[in-house]
């Protein structure tokens, strides 16, 4: 028999009747829209028929005893955030963690969910179905964050389909995954919005705040966990969306799931959805029990909730620090916590907790059995994760093709302008030598600087979602990084090819197919090294302004050592080593070789008197300190730089995401 909260006038009361909605199927889905004849709809009945009912979750009992949470401060000292807290959450119940701001609600909930931020030290015992918490909590429980983060350019169904591939057991069949996605879309009233973009482009219809919350909830429900943590699930919602969200949570509890929420001063109606209330203040438990017990407990301390006053508002008011009289408030809060610790409700709770621990102490077999169950989850194969992440990032590019189109048009415009400037100048004459070298440098520079700076924003923008998904164990940093880069590849091939094609032919560079195709290949390589370098700076410095601050001097050093501005052999030794990092130098040398190798007929004319006359390509290369047999060494060096920058970027990304 479960405890059922009911509204009694303006007050809460709790009955022991089974909740009326015990068997209901969350929220009835909206009627089918006209475009409903999708493959998903057509598959849905067959899937249900073939696979039968959805897999059932495992009921979860979470019990915690004497939990203390500290965080390490910058000076190395420990700050206590949660102090000696005990409690229990059973299957089929909804527990509200409440308290004034800074009371320790989120800290306690992340400790209970085994999702502690780095630098947090948790002491005490927390058991889930008799087992000490571990990494299995990521599969066994769902955690809905207060701020929902999504890849906005995806539709609802794309998001859920990708998440199903990343979150669900690797052995789950494709039909079962589709069935789960469809079930959740229907249950959470998202079916009608399944083809809506999560965040719209150009004001196209997008999800409402309530729909976003429900989508975040659906994402957590994909694996059908028995334990759900929700951090302020109603914050930012209007009253009807908040009520709808609470109804969903209550429905999950009614199915037998264990639901724990932090919540900010819910109104009486929302509060009535909770079975249990845990009031925190200054990191301690000020009360734990039913709302009715809370009223009588506070009354016994002389805090009688005035009529027409929302009881939860009143409790929080009692437990808040009053500005100007903080020390008196702290004393009063301490007194409430101390009185609760010796109250009947606390004793009752202690007995329940001790009973659970006693069961575990005497049932080692249960513990190992649970452990076995946790170990049976098989994550999706890493190539599957990689493929679905590539798909996700490719969708972003496809969804907003304007960005790609504008970039390509911009490249073509620059290529046309640059090509026209060099048109007819690249001849086999003394002045033509400079023009050819100038055109080559334009190809290299255009494929270096703007691409390198264009990726700087990419990783910092994605860090919040990345951190969250990495913590949830959906994939690893190298998989994410590889997927991100692969999804960029089409643009990284098309842009340099188009640019080089236009400049090369308009400028009239060497007309052999070999020289042209090799130059295109080098331009592609240059752009990819530049992107790798930009990605490294982006991952290493974590914010665009800081990355730019470091990248600008670096790119000047690369440019100065490219071989165009200073004769490499005349550079001082203490800076000349930088050229070994300069892909501008390697590509300049390689492209120059392609233009000048084997050329024997450069003319000298009378008006160029006084200038040294270079009559062969070999002499031109020597003037720039280049050597014709360095072509493949340059290509190899470019590949090494490409791999080195990408490896450094992955290491930086791993380091950065581990610290969060
Ligand atoms: N990493 C940290 N370093 C120092 N203090 C911290 C850290 N994390 C949390 N705190 C402090 O611990 C206390 C509890 O924080 P927590 O976020 O758990 O509070 P909360 O009850 O969830 O508050 P809110 O309702 O405002 O979100 C706060 O005073 C907060 O400033």
pLDDT, residue 610, reads 62
pLDDT, residue 367, reads 53
What is the edge-to-edge ordering of all strands in the sheet holding 141-144? Answer: 141-144, 227-231, 258-262, 94-98, 276-281, 284-289
Bridge-based pairing state of the strands 78-89 and 62-72: antiparallel
pLDDT, residue 430, reads 83
- Express each pLDDT in 570-620 by its tens digit: 788 887 788 888 999 999 999 999 999 998 888 876 555 566 788 899 999
32 lines ligand 1 (CB under 6 A): no
Phi then psi for residue 38, to 5 deg, are -95, 175
pLDDT, residue 148, reads 85
The position carrying tokens 């170990």 is: 375
Same domain, 246 and 120: yes
Domain presence at residue 154: yes
105 lines ligand 1 (CB under 6 A): yes
Phi then psi for residue 113, to 5 deg, are -90, 0
Residue 47 Cα to ligand 1 middle (Å)? 46
Domain presence at residue 427: yes
Same domain, 406 and 367: no
Same domain, 295 and 436: no
Same domain, 253 and 371: yes
Same domain, 358 and 461: no
**Domain extent at residue 44:** 4-375
The whole-angstrom separation of Cα 539 and Cα 534 is: 9
Residue 223 belongs to a domain with what CATH number? 3.40.50.300
pLDDT, residue 202, reads 62
Residue 214 Cα to ligand 1 middle (Å)? 26
- Express each pLDDT in 203-258 by its tens digit: 566 888 889 989 999 999 998 899 999 998 888 888 888 888 888 899 889 989 99
Q: What is the DSSP letter of 193?
A: G
83 lines ligand 1 (CB under 6 A): no
Tokens coding 524:
């592609």
Residue 107 Cα to ligand 1 middle (Å)? 7
How many structural domains compose the chain? Answer: 2
The position carrying tokens 């990408």 is: 646
Considering only CA atoms, which of 451, 442, 445 is closest in space to residue 417? 442
Instruction: Point out the domain boundary residue: 358, 375, 392.
Output: 375
Nearest CA to ligand 1 atom 29: 102
* Cβ-based burial of 53 (10 A; exposed 0-12, middle 13-18, buried ≥19): exposed
**Closest atom, ligand 1, to C-alpha of 283:** 14
Partner residues linked to 5 by β-bridges: 14
Same domain, 527 and 435: yes
Same domain, 119 and 173: yes
Residue 98 Cα to ligand 1 middle (Å)? 13
The whole-angstrom separation of Cα 365 and Cα 129 is: 12
Residues lower than pLDDT 50 in the chain: 1-53, 365, 369
**Which whole-number Å values give the CA distances from 135 to 256, 474, 521, 558, in the listed order?**
23, 12, 46, 45
Could you give the maximum distance between any two Cα atoms of the chain, in Å?
110
- Cβ atoms of 101 and 140 within 8 Å: the answer is no
Three-state SS string over 275-342 comes to: CEEEEEECCEEEEEECHHHHHHHHHHCCCCCCCCCCHHHHHHHHHCCCCCCHHHHHHHHHHHHHHHHC
Same domain, 262 and 134: yes
- Cβ atoms of 532 and 645 within 8 Å: the answer is yes
Tokens coding 86:
């005990």
Bridge-based pairing state of the strands 284-289 and 276-281: antiparallel
Same domain, 407 and 340: no
The predicted complex's ipTM stands at 0.96
Q: How many Cα atoms occupy the beta-carbon half-sphere of 452 within 13 Å? A: 27
Same domain, 354 and 406: no
* Mean pLDDT, rounded, of the chain: 84
**Closest atom, ligand 1, to C-alpha of 280:** 21
pLDDT, residue 5, reads 37
Residue 108 Cα to ligand 1 middle (Å)? 10
Partner residues linked to 278 by β-bridges: 97, 288
The whole-angstrom distance between residue 12's C-alpha and the CA centroid of its chain comes to: 40
Neighbours of 477 (CB within 10 A): 20
Same domain, 17 and 83: yes
**Which whole-number Å values give the CA distances from 225 to 143, 221, 422, 486, 590, in the listed order?**
10, 6, 65, 33, 58
pLDDT, residue 33, reads 39
Same domain, 292 and 435: no
The position carrying tokens 């997927």 is: 483
The whole-angstrom separation of Cα 448 and Cα 556 is: 12
pLDDT, residue 40, reads 41
The position carrying tokens 């794309």 is: 158
102 lines ligand 1 (CB under 6 A): yes
Tokens coding 318:
């009692």
| pTM given for the model | 0.82
Domain presence at residue 384: no
Q: What is the DSSP letter of 206?
A: B
pLDDT, residue 363, reads 62
pLDDT, residue 169, reads 87
**Closest atom, ligand 1, to C-alpha of 117:** 1
Q: Is the sign of the CA dihedral 94, 270, 105, 468 positive or negative?
A: positive
pLDDT, residue 374, reads 55
The whole-angstrom separation of Cα 277 and Cα 290 is: 6
Instruction: Point out the domain boundary residue: 342, 375, 408.
Output: 375
SS3 126: strand
112 lines ligand 1 (CB under 6 A): no
Q: How many Cα atoms occupy the beta-carbon half-sphere of 418 within 13 Å? A: 25
């Amino acid at each position: 028999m479960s405890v059922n909260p009911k509204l009694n006038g303006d007050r809460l009361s709790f009955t022991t009747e089974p909740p009326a909605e015990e068997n209901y199927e969350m929220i009835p889905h909206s009627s089918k829209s006209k475009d409903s004849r999708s493959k998903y709809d057509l598959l849905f009945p067959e899937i249900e028929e073939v696979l039968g009912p959805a897999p059932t979750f495992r009921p979860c009992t979470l019990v915690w005893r004497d939990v203390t949470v500290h965080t390490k401060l910058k000076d190395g000292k420990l700050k206590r955030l949660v102090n000696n807290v005990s409690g229990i959450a059973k299957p089929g119940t909804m527990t509200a963690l409440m308290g004034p701001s800074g009371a320790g609600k989120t800290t306690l909930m992340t400790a209970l969910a085994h999702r502690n931020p780095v630098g947090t030290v948790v002491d005490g015992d927390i058991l889930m179905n008799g087992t000490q918490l571990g990494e299995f909590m990521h599969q066994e429980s769902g955690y809905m964050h207060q701020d929902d983060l999504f890849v906005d350019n995806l539709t609802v169904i794309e998001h859920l389909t990708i998440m199903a591939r990343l979150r669900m057991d690797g052995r789950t069949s494709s039909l079962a995954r589709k069935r789960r996605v469809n079930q959740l879309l229907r249950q959470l009233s998202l079916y009608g919005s399944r083809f809506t973009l999560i965040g719209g482009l150009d004001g196209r219809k997008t999800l409402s705040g309530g729909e976003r919350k429900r989508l975040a909830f659906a994402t957590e429900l994909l694996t059908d966990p028995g334990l759900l943590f929700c951090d302020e699930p109603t914050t930012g919602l209007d009253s009807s969306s908040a009520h709808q969200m609470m109804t969903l949570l209550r429905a999950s509890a009614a199915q037998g799931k264990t639901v724990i929420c932090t919540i900010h001063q819910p109104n009486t109606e929302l509060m009535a959805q909770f079975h249990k209330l845990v009031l925190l203040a200054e990191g301690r438990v000020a009360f734990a029990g039913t709302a009715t017990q809370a009223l009588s407990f506070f009354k016994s301390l002389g805090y009688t909730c005035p009529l027409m006053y929302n009881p939860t508002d009143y409790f929080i008011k009692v437990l808040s620090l009053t500005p100007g009289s903080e020390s008196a408030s702290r004393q009063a809060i301490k007194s409430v916590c101390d009185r609760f610790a010796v109250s009947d409700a606390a004793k009752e709770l202690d007995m329940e907790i001790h009973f659970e621990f006693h069961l575990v102490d005497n049932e080692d077999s249960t513990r190992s059995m649970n452990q076995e169950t946790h170990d049976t989850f098989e994550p999706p194969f890493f190539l599957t994760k990689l493929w679905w992440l590539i798909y996700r990032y490719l969708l972003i590019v496809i969804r907003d093709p304007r960005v790609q189109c504008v970039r390509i048009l911009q490249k073509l415009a620059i290529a046309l302008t640059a090509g026209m400037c060099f048109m007819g100048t690249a001849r086999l004459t003394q002045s033509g030598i400079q023009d050819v070298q100038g055109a080559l440098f334009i190809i290299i520079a255009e494929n270096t600087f703007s691409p390198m700076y264009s990726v700087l924003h990419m990783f910092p923008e994605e860090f919040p979602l990345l951190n969250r998904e990495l913590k949830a164990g959906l994939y690893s940093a190298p998989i994410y990084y590889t997927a991100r880069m692969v999804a960029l590849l089409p643009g990284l091939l098309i842009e340099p090819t188009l640019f080089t094609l236009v400049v090369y032919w308009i400028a009239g560079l060497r007309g052999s197919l070999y020289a042209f195709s090799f130059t295109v290949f080098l331009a592609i390589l240059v752009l990819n090294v530049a992107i790798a370098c930009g990605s490294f700076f982006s991952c290493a410095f974590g914010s665009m302004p800081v990355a730019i601050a470091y990248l600008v001097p670096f790119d000047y050093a690369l440019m100065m050592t490219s071989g165009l501005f200073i004769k490499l052999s005349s550079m001082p030794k203490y800076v000349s080593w930088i050229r070994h990092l300069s892909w501008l130098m390697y590509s300049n040398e390689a492209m120059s070789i392609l233009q000048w190798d084997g050329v024997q007929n450069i003319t000298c004319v009378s008006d160029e008197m006084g200038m040294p006359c270079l009559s062969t390509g070999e002499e031109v290369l020597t003037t720039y300190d280049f050597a014709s047999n360095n072509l493949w060494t340059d290509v190899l060096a470019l590949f090494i730089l490409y791999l080195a920058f990408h490896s450094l970027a992955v290491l930086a990304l791993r380091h950065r995401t581990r610290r969060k």
